Amino acid sequence: MAARMPMLPLWQAKQYAVIRSDVSGYVYCLDASTVFRFRELVKS
């Protein structure tokens, strides 16, 4: 398979977050840089 492909993807920038209903700010934690920003999370 590798012989037929010009490039093999080694990193895919998909991020998933599982949160509880009393946690907010998660939409600001995930972005294209693949750095998860824990400081944005707030427990209400």
Output the 3-class SS for the chain.
CCCCCCCCCCCCCCCCCCCCCCEECHHHCCCCCCCCCHHHCEEC
Cα Rg of the chain, angstroms: 16
In degrees and rounded to multiples of 5, residue 34 shows phi and psi of 60, 20
Q: What is the pLDDT of residue 27?
A: 85
What is this structure's pTM?
A: 0.52
pLDDT tens for the chain, residues 1 to 44: 566 766 666 666 677 788 888 999 888 888 777 788 888 889 88
> Taking the domains of the chain in order of start, what are their residue ranges?
12-44
* CA 38-34-27 angle, 5° bins: 50
Question: What does the pLDDT read at residue 2?
Answer: 61
In this predicted structure, what is the pLDDT of residue 13? Answer: 64
